[in-house]
Amino acid sequence: MPTLPELHVQLNDPPERRWALTDPQAAQAHDLIRLYQADFGGPTATRALATQALLLVPPAHLRELQALAARLGVPVEDAVFANVYYDVVKAALGYTAFAVPTPDGPLYARNLDWWTEHGALARHTTLTRYFHGDRLHFTSVGWPGFTGVLSGVAPGRFAITLNAVLSDEPPRAGLPVTLFLRDVLEHATTFREAVHLCRTTPLLADCLLLITGVNNDERLVIECTPTRHATRTAPTGPLVVANDYQQLHAAPPASPDALHASSGGRYACALALAREHHPQEADACLRILTNPGVRMGITVQHMVLNARSGAVTVRPPT
């Protein structure tokens, strides 16, 4: 399995000094910004959306994004849009994830499905390691230029990922979801604290959050709309989440996109395979994630996280 490139962020540094991208990483960030802009008809449209989102970006995050934009030589709106893309275009993202109990604590397996031209997100996948001094605080699976979190694990504390979902509720004033997940990994010291933050923090958009701790009874899905939340778990068997609500009663959009329309099939397949095979290690989880009934043609990353050890296994799509 190829070794992924890494980007190290020192949280003890001021926000302005945290993102020291190499020239190749800066080129990858430029590439992704260009692709995001193309999705929305060009930089004029994305910068207008980012101008509105700037009002919701917490000050510490904004200082990081301003420094990142200066490093890349782009307007700050470009860096902001690259980090609030989920809140704007969640309909284009699909995910399937499951958490299973093992003797080494819960294993957290997930596919990230997201279309980009020429598979750019898969090609640019990077492990971002966040440190306090010499101590690893948490790891996220992302890309250069992405300061938020879609998938992350904090050794000895918890792992958390975001799954997209749609309701008929309009957005509300709240934190952009990926920046919020970064805050949770940065500040919550336990699984219980992470769950509390996810239950009580107003968020900008619909989302499904799967959280696992270091013990097998610490596995929880939190289903969110901008105004409500519900939780579900699986006390003994696999806990699965795709792209639809299971517990929360929320009207789906009138015309769901293909990713969300396929959610039920991916959910059922992942659940059946996890129940049949009882995966106890990363390779067994990856075999389920790469099954044709679970993966998609636009899958960007297959990954397995272990909160007890902090281990991260990422396999590119084939």
Domain architecture of the chain: domains with CATH: 6-87 (no CATH), 90-315 (3.60.60.10)
pLDDT at residue 92 is higher than 60: no
Residue pLDDT, tens place only, 234-291: 988 999 999 999 998 876 666 666 666 788 999 999 999 999 999 999 999 999 999 9
Q: How confident is the model at residue 170 (pLDDT cuts 50, 70, 90)?
A: confident
Task: Enumerate the H helices of the chain as residue ranges.
Answer: 23-39, 43-53, 59-72, 76-83, 85-89, 120-123, 177-187, 191-200, 258-261, 263-277, 282-289
pLDDT at residue 149 is higher than 80: yes
Q: pLDDT over 90 for what percent of the chain? A: 73
Please check whether residue 315 is in contact with residue 286, taking contact to mean a CB–CB distance below 8 angstroms.
yes
Q: How confident is the model at residue 41 (pLDDT cuts 50, 70, 90)?
A: confident
Average pLDDT over residues 118-134: 92
